[in-house]
Amino acid sequence: MRARVALGYDGAAEKQERKAEALEKIEAKKNAYTIGQLADEYFTKNILGRWKHPNIVRARIEKDIKPNIGKIPVEEVKPMDISRMLETIVERGAPTIANDVLRWTKRMFDFAIKRHILQFNPASAFDLSDAGGKEEARERALSREELVTLFAAMRKTKGFASINELTIKLLLMLAVRKGELVTAKVSAFDLEAGTWKLTTADTKTKSEIIIPLPRQAVE
């Protein structure tokens, strides 16, 4: 070191340079555009006002994406980060949610590529087999004994309102989506004819549906 100093080497100056570089990196990280910020921007520009149920996407962002990878600067995210996030969700027993998170994460990074924030999509190599697996339609119906148990529990549970009991019974009888029932207008029901008319604005498929009401539903 003495020989280098004798040849004109400035140790103090180099130390100051290293310190300045370290401070620059800290400052850059502090001001970095994170995945959490990307998720918020994607939601505002692509989901809010465009999707019928934006709260579903918002929930996946707040409960799954942000807690796992939200603080990572966008340019530093790696496929390994995506893999860990999916594993965390599957391990808590939510494979279907892991599939949803993968879908929205892919779309979010595609949005970043279109805005020239990223060069490649770090989630592009993943498919459902890396998340919750292929979703299969299930055949399941409550038995008579299970229905009796359910209705008894609803009546006995403290704070469980009678309107909730009626809502669940109607959902079981009519096999409609919860959102379709709880937002239905009185004018859509014809109790004399025993029908409920779902308009194109009410249904997920945007097609009009006439639902027959059994005697128990009319009552």
Task: Specify the residue for token string 């919860």.
Answer: 178
DSSP state of 212: E
- 90 by DSSP, 3-state: which? helix
Instruction: Give the model confidence (pLDDT) of 97-112 as tens digits.
Output: 999 999 999 999 999 9
pLDDT at 29: 58
Q: Where are the alpha helices (DSSP H) in the chain?
A: 2-6, 11-30, 35-42, 54-60, 66-69, 79-91, 95-114, 144-156, 162-174, 178-182, 215-218
> Which pLDDT belongs to residue 23?
64
The CATH number of 35-130 is: 1.10.150.130
Instruction: Give the tens place of pLDDT for each residue, 110-155.
Output: 999 999 999 999 999 999 888 888 777 777 788 999 999 999 999 9
Q: Are 209 and 188 in contact (CB under 8 A)?
A: no
**The model's pTM:** 0.58
Q: Partners of 196 in the beta sheet?
A: 189, 211
Locate the domains of the chain by residue range: 35-130, 144-218
